[in-house]
Structure 1
């Protein structure tokens, strides 16, 4: 199928092939993954063999696999890059996500090329250039507002990809050199040292300290849940979740969340279509606030705004619980209307404004709005009226740690009589069809109603296949 802007694609991250398979099972139309080298996440490499395994699973649902080769290459690496591209193409990979334009000069197989966010696509002119030289999909800079996205869509024909969830960089992707300057590790070589998540002291021009040990370069996390319709109207067709370093519960939760939102939109807007086949069902209710985030912002999608920083901590503090009512020798009483569970993780900011976490061994409900927590270790400086947060909902995480989704392709099963016997035709939701015929003598059933009911029941038994009748 040739994708157009009318085919909406949910694009999920894959740290490895198993994560990618779960992303597909939870509703992703495509996944992106790193290869054995040359990816912007150097600590998430994958063998060509593992990627081929992911491709095989994805293609069963007409989903796609994109491989990130989005570092800047040294000259002596180009032959290795060329060989790897051919290996990936032979494995069935659908597209490469690239930054280095030198790759265009190599002897490449006929594989789709996507322009990485590392190419820093902020202007109509750059998007037009990448469109004209043959990129089929363009990953727009996270900093773009919806009005600029619309201008780029009007001036190009390539599919437009936009980050809708996950981490935000404080600098333009591909143009940030703070990691290399401080540590010698270059983000453009896949080795970002995350200097933007460190604490800094801020001084004015006279050297006076106006802020001490705050995370002034740390951004909140991206969440475009409320802007999906506007992004579609602006011309975006690929909706990307950040997170090739994130854990599996994050991938499952975020993918399921946006799958449900996009499915609602597809129901309302029949002029658009899903870019893969199959429907996912879940054992949990997606709640993106329960897996890793630094609290949410829609960044500059609707224009620049002030409250975009996670200056207190770059860590996951979680959902707000309530305040401490009493501190005992081995317990903490908290006032909250949120149900707590044994094994939950909670945290608070201590007197030094550092985030302190603890695991709750046992929970007692004292009344409807008060819980007594017995942590594995009592913190030294927690006080009454301290604000508590939950950064691990044990019951929710247990659901995600098990098999939590099933994806099936809907089939229309038609059994009918032919001149010489019978035929069975299967039509899937994307219009693919197969027919099998069987020559046989015909004999009228003694009980036609019972025979028809039996046929319907047995034809619907598709077992452990990827289909549902």
Structure 2
């Protein structure tokens, strides 16, 4: 049986490298145009070439998003863009629009095509239709149960792959076909410019009392009426795979490198444990603890087991839970001296306890015994963003090993 793919977001070149090194089988990313994450760092053409080379050297794949719903003026640049991304060897194009599909087939006939969740594929007849048009993989709408996914898989050709989101932020408009941002902020979510008005706080105003605002709520708990919990299916790997999901997708091109690496590593370990012994597989709750160490909202299983209800919304706040800080990433390591060269990401202090997370294996805990700056001077604090710091390591580390600590604001 072919193993399910673990697919990770890559908002920039560093995130791509982190995703690959921490266990992703493939990454999806956006160029500077035609992607639904216009406010991510995204990839220049040179970065895209470097990213494809890095991933392919590690035996991993790269999928590029072209999943906007284009207007007429968007169509002018698309053919040349398709030729460019095809020339550097991306493994697939993710799209949602039939016009872009026809242009990909014309400009890059050998390119693998994946249908975006934006296309709202919710049934097997639709999946068959897209497969007949040349689509290799359908990324299913978020509003499907495991039973519905299983039925789609059973009623479509074996050559059609099924991808589903398993972790990350949930859109109140399910598959993302939303006009609220366009209306409220003049930013078209279907062209990559969503202002996330679903996370805003709303009040009710009566037309003859323009200065009187009344809170809008379903009960006394709060007023964030559109604010969904984040999706988390790490505890349900067997159910996903047995339903026919062939690619498990993590949301988060706007998230940090720390988020990408931590979540990917946890899902990688869960997947590997399942395939090592499917008959006696038991989920390790430690892995859920790991995904909780990155910035997140309270979790839900979305539509997979039943339709979300009031308990799947967060009414009181739109803030994230942040229990851990990402404080540094290893750039170099000398095995002889056991000294690591660290790029600082948040303030670090001599004497504080940190967790050291390698791409593979368990993390270890140590105290920062001493630190030196780039001039070799002893320092008690590393206060400057991305400053270079030298410190001893209790155990061996490698490039892109992460340093994290429990957030002082949560103690």
Query: What's the TM-score, normalizing by structure 2?
Result: 0.71
- 1:161-180 → structure 2 map (5 Å cutoff): 161-180=163-182
Is 2:241 the counterpart of 1:232? yes
Measure, in 1, the Cα distance between the counterparts of 2:190 and 2:262.
Answer: 29
**CA distance 1:203–1:93, shift in 2 (3 Å):** same
Equivalent residue in structure 2 for 1:405, among 359, 368, 378: 359
Deviations 1:83-134, CA, capped at 9 Å, x for gaps: 1111111111000111111012222211111001111112222222112211
Contact 2:96 2:116 in 1 (8 A): yes
What is the count of residue pairs matched by the alignment?
319
1:312 counterpart (304, 312, 316):
316
Change (3 A) 1:217 1:285: closer
Output one character per residue of 1:45-79: Cα deviation in whole Å (capped at 9) or x when no partner.
21121111111111122210000111011223324
Which whole-Å CA distance do the structure 1 matches of 2:246 and 2:205 have between them?
44
In the alignment, the residues of structure 1 paired with residue 172 and residue 107 of structure 2 have an alpha-carbon distance, to the nearest angstrom, of: 34
Matched residue, 1:116: 116
C-alpha separation in 2, matches of 1:292 and 1:317? 6
Q: Name the SS of the counterpart of 1:96 in structure 2.
A: strand
SS in structure 2 opposite 1:287? Answer: helix
SS at match of 2:143: coil
**Aligned runs of 1:318-357 on 2, under 5 Å?**
318=322
Query: Aligned partners of 2:241, 2:318: CA distance in 1, in Å?
Result: 31
After superposition, the C-alpha distances for 1:3-42 in whole angstroms (9 at most, x for unaligned) are: xx82310000001122101100000000001012010000
| Structure 2 partner of 1:12 | 8
C-alpha separation between the residues in 2 aligned to 1:292 and 1:50?
26
Matched with 2:297 is: 294
Aligned to 1:187: 189
1:218 and 2:222 correspond: no
Change (3 A) 1:236 1:51: same
Cα distance in 2 for partners of 1:285, 1:174 equals 27
1:387-402 to 2 correspondence within 5 Å? 395-396=354-355, 399=356
Corresponding residue SS for 2:100: helix
Identify the residue that residue 153 of structure 2 maps to in structure 1: 153
After TM superposition, give the deviation of residue 224 of structure 1 in Å: 0.5
394 and 129 in structure 1: CA distance in 2 versus 1, 3 angstrom threshold: farther
- Contact 1:35 1:47 (8 Å CA) reproduced: yes
Shift of 1:236: 0.3
Determine helix, strand or coil for the equivalent of 1:405: coil
Q: 1:150 and 1:231 mapped to 2: Cα distance?
A: 9
Per the alignment, in what secondary structure is the counterpart of residue 55 of structure 1? Answer: helix
Q: Secondary structure at the match of 1:113?
A: strand
Can you list the C-alpha shifts for 1:358-409, whole angstroms capped at 9, x where unaligned?
A: x9999xxxxxxxxxxxxxxxxxxxxxxxxxxxxxx9834xx36xxx3269xx
Corresponding position of 2:389: none
Structure 2 partner of 1:200? 202
TM-score, structure 1 normalization: 0.63
1:276 corresponding residue in structure 2: none
C-alpha contact (below 8 Å) 2:234/2:288 kept by paired residues: no
Structure with the greater alpha carbon radius of gyration = 1
Unmatched tracts of structure 2, length 5 or more? 207-212, 280-286, 328-345, 362-397, 399-411
Tell me which residue corresponds to 1:264.
Answer: 273
Does residue 101 of structure 1 match 2:101?
A: no
Deviation at 1:230, TM superposition (A): 0.8
**Higher strand proportion:** 1
Q: Contact between 1:146 and 1:231, CA under 8 Å: does it hold in 2? A: yes
Q: Which runs of 5+ in 1 are unaligned?
A: 271-283, 320-339, 344-358, 363-392, 408-463, 465-469
* 1:300-350 CA-partner distances (Å, limit 9, x unpaired): 11112421112222221345xxxxxxxxxxxxxxxxxxxx99x9xxxxxxx
**C-alpha deviations, 1:163-221, integer Å up to 9, x for none?**
111000111324211111111111111000100000123699xx985638621101000
